[in-house]
A and B are shown apart, each in its own frame.
Chain A
Amino acid sequence: MKSVNKCLIILVILFMHRHCHAQDHAQDNELLEKYIENTESHTDYTDLSIVYENLIKHPVNLNSTEIGELSRIPQFTPVHLQALKAHIQHYGNLTSIYELQVIDGFDPDLIAAVKSYIDVRETIHLNQLLEKDFRKNYRHEIVFLSSRRIEKSIGYQLPATDKNAFLGNPFRQAMRYKGVLNPQISFGCNIEKDDGEKLKTGFLSAFVLYNGKGKIKQFIMGDFQAAFGQGLCFGSGLSFGKSPFVLDIMRRQNTSRPNRSFNENEFLRGISCTYKISKHIDLISFYSNKRIDANVVEDSLGITEFSGLLNTGNYRNSTELSKKGQLNRRINGSHLQIQSGTLQIGATAVYTKYGSHQLTNEKHLYQLYNNQNSAIQNYGVDFKWFHKNLLFFGEVAMNEHIKSLSFVHGIIASLDKHFDISLLHRHYSMSYNPSITNAFGETQDNHNENGLYMGICIIPLKNFKLNAYADLYRFNWLRYQVDAPSQGRDMMIELQYTRRKQYSWYIRFRSETKQQNEPGLQIRNRLENQKRELFRSHLEYKPNLFITLKSRFEQVWFHREYGKTTRGMLMMQDLHVQVHKRIKLITRLMVFDAEDYDSRVYAFENDMLYSYSVPAFQNRGLRFYLLTKYKMNKYLYLCFRFARTSYENSKTIGSGQDKIESNKATDISIQLQWTL
């Protein structure tokens, strides 16, 4: 009977195959845009693109029943996972990804969206498959990038004797190499010189990765990222908080991975090893010893202290160079992971030591609970449990004292195939001093925060989807520029309409209220409520395989309780044209008008391969960019980008040594990818 059912399913798949459309990189960009649009504009997103590149190169095996594997797909809710599991139990392993169409909850749009990230294969034959692909996987990839801003900033015009004068030329040059020797061994390096830097002060990062089939599952030597559990005890690398993917609140990374980002500080340098203790138990241990940028000062008694870590990665003048690698950070830790069916439990212990310097004694009241020791110990226990249509997850972490106990826990539930809900509660103690974390939260430092998040995703009618979240949070102690315990709320509602993958339209409203010191010099600071509201209408249309059009209207209001309301707006039109099977053009024309920094507007931009940007715009002006992607042959891929912003109400751009004495900023970039 099962085999008859299987045959019927295959027939249905063949019949329905035409409904699934090929996924292109534009769809990946849409996904990335929704994740990164709420983050700061200077973030390096290379890490994120590598994660998605990995998903494409190493798709999730749908026939796997491990929760860690299946939950790598952000679009899969517990009800999808449950339905998939039930289907496999009843009919056996999937034979094609299109078989998903006969499973409840998987519609063609969802399958098209995840198509590049999923695969079906017999898990028992994985090793044989790797052996078979030994020759095929031999691959080298090298990417060269050169870019510069045409208009020179003041830093280049200062006399060489000035301590703020830029020492290098205005070109940013970068090279990224990755070699795959065989399925087990790969290696790579990143070399980068920022604009204004001298070549010898540039950035070099390298790694060697071994993926084994025996007891040593993975070994990394060089630069890497590591994140465990919900990232509360330890989590390095890029992560995102609240986004229109209201159900995606659980951290999915639970391992070490090579660092391929150009971020010059936020990674680990040393070794990492994943040891397979038994079929269900893995032990990940790592050691990192790296110099990081910091403000180090010597007090009157001759004691050196560091007051803050720096993350700009710019070493363009003698002032910036004096802060380079001033602090030694040594981190060693271990993570034990037990996997049993749909339950995954982990325990993490991390020890961090900051050189021989002392931390600066608190100068401000808000720093009262900050760590005063040069060593930090973090311990944590985390879990993920997938049961029926529910996915539970959480982590408890602390330093060596119980007062620092902090936790985050949540649930993602599919109450109906048209109704999903997510809940997350977090309590990050003000006494908790994390080493490197990336847990869910309003702020990135994961301490002194309590909050409750709730998200819902409803499909009220065919083609319609409603996403909404509300996050209420409170800071029990003072923060920078907040001279009293404060609170806030963040709410978002988005209605999407999608029609046969041909066009989609969403409107979004977001309102966030925070408390901050009233601006200006006061005898005694008082908190004021600051509310930022955003309305967006975004339309995307694909009339055929060659053309994509996008248009957006966005309005921002920034209200101050004791001040005036300022406004910002943005309107843009994108045109993506596949002019030839080898050439693709992406262009944008955008106007913006933001009265001040608080009402600034953000817009995701397509950039070169492996890079994305979300620049912020204020003042009034016009932005244009043209990105050309040319696949020269099987091995070479060339990208060229021209971007110009012209301001109508400002005669200069930027400030300090980055200031440009012109109302126009023109950037050109060229990138060559060579794959062997």
Chain B
Amino acid sequence: MQSNVFCVIQNVSLMTEMKKTGIGLSFVNRFGMKDINHASLCAVIPRQPVAFGFTFQSTGNNTLSEKCLGLSFAHAPFKQISFGISARYQTLSIRGYGHQSHITSDIALTSHLNDKFSSSCRILNLVGSNFSLKHTESFSRTFSLGWRYQFNKKVRLNCEAEKCASFKTNIKTGIVYQVNQLLRFNIGFSSLQAQCTFGFSLKRKQYLLEFATGMVQMAGISTNLSFSYEIGQ
């Protein structure tokens, strides 16, 4: 169960685990509200022991939108360790108020303690970029520590503690169950209810289709659909 192309968004250091060049498209609808839809396009080009990544993300609508263009680089200097860095150009537009752009960066470090167990650290928005015109407000930094344990070929456990400056610590746990080469189930629990999800993925040759859904009683259902393709046999 190796990482897929969306690691360029989730944990950039895991790009070095990819064997083939991949591209992916993801679409998220939150609580059935089209105004806060999120779409992302990403690509990873692995060149062992390094890997390069590209992302484009878009959120919102004509009134309020946020777009982000990112370039990523990951390197595995040793078999057990990999690190990655992303630079992102982000634009926030509000109709009638103009727009504000800034550059921010993410870093991640992953260590593979053995074949089954690995640990990661990730910091999003390391430089704490300002987004207001008066430079009085900044995007929150997010610091995460995560652990991944592969029980056997079929079951994997992921745990993550995530601290965003603006929120309480979010503890996340996910279980991945690989039924067969085609089908895989995912279930995730989080101390933030909105992030509890259930999903499945279908993999056929170089194609991977993933679907996940989560529900908050007061707000409704969120769905996530993604598609990725690996180039080459």
Residue A541 interfacial (CB < 8 Å): yes
Closest to A593 in B: B163
Q: Which residues of A contact B121 (CB under 8 A)?
A: 551, 573, 589
How long is the Cα–Cα vector from A389 to B80 in the complex, in angstroms?
Answer: 42
- State whether A541 touches B113 (Cβ < 8 A): yes
- State whether A591 touches B163 (Cβ < 8 A): yes
Residue A544 interfacial (CB < 8 Å): yes
Instruction: Provide the B118-144 mask, 1 if CB < 8 A to any CB of A, else 0.
Output: 010101000010000000000001011
Q: Which residues of A contact B168 (CB under 8 A)?
A: 567
Closest to B122 in A: A573
How long is the Cα–Cα vector from A638 to B40 in the complex, in angstroms?
Answer: 48
- State whether A503 touches B78 (Cβ < 8 A): no
Which of A547, A591, A646 is B143 in contact with, Cβ under 8 Å?
A: A591
Which of A499, A543, A547, A591 is B141 in contact with, Cβ under 8 Å?
A: A591
- State whether A622 touches B119 (Cβ < 8 A): no
Interface size class of A (residues with CB under 8 A): 20 to 34
Residue B208 interfacial (CB < 8 Å): no
Q: Which residues of B contact A569 (CB under 8 A)?
A: 163, 169
- State whether A549 touches B109 (Cβ < 8 A): yes
- State whether A543 touches B81 (Cβ < 8 A): yes
Residue A650 interfacial (CB < 8 Å): no
How long is the Cα–Cα vector from A622 to B127 in the complex, in angstroms?
Answer: 11
How long is the Cα–Cα vector from A552 to B81 in the complex, in angstroms?
Answer: 18
Closest to B143 in A: A591
- State whether B143 touches A543 (Cβ < 8 A): no
List residues 134-186 of chain B with CB under 8 A from any CB of chain A: 141, 143-145, 147, 161, 163, 165, 168-169
- State whether B109 touches A575 (Cβ < 8 A): yes
Given A541-B119, A620-B165, A648-B165, do A553 and B145 touch, yes or no (CB 8 Å)?
yes
Which of B81, B119, B147, B163 is A571 in contact with, Cβ under 8 Å?
A: B163
Given A571-B163, A573-B109, A591-B143, do A543 and B119 touch, yes or no (CB 8 Å)?
no
Residue B111 interfacial (CB < 8 Å): yes
Closest to B166 in A: A648
Residue A555 interfacial (CB < 8 Å): yes
Residue A319 interfacial (CB < 8 Å): no
How long is the Cα–Cα vector from A465 to B195 in the complex, in angstroms?
Answer: 35
Q: Which residues of A contact B119 (CB under 8 A)?
A: 539, 541, 549, 551
Residue A39 interfacial (CB < 8 Å): no
Q: Which residues of A contact B123 (CB under 8 A)?
A: 589
Given A541-B119, A543-B80, A589-B123, do A622 and B113 touch, yes or no (CB 8 Å)?
no
Q: Which residues of B contact A620 (CB under 8 A)?
A: 165
Q: Taking each of B78, B114, B145, which has the highest tally of chain A beta carbons within 10 Å of its own beta carbon?
A: B145
- State whether A549 touches B81 (Cβ < 8 A): yes
Q: Which residues of B contact A551 (CB under 8 A)?
A: 119, 121, 145
How long is the Cα–Cα vector from A620 to B119 in the complex, in angstroms?
Answer: 25
Distance between A586 CB and nearest chain B CB, rounded to angstroms: 15
List residues 37-57 of chain B with CB under 8 A from any CB of chain A: none
For the complex of A and B, the 7 pairs showing the least CB-CB separation, nearest first, are A543-B80, A573-B121, A591-B143, A553-B161, A503-B113, A648-B165, A541-B111
Identify the B interface with A (CB < 8 A).
78-81, 109, 111, 113-114, 119, 121, 123, 128, 141, 143-145, 147, 161, 163, 165, 168-169
Show 27 residue pairs from A and B whose CB-CB distance is below 8 angstroms, ordered by the A residue.
A499-B113, A539-B119, A541-B80, A543-B78, A543-B79, A543-B81, A544-B78, A549-B81, A549-B119, A551-B121, A551-B145, A553-B145, A555-B169, A569-B163, A569-B169, A571-B143, A571-B145, A571-B161, A571-B169, A573-B109, A573-B145, A591-B141, A591-B143, A591-B165, A620-B165, A622-B143, A646-B128
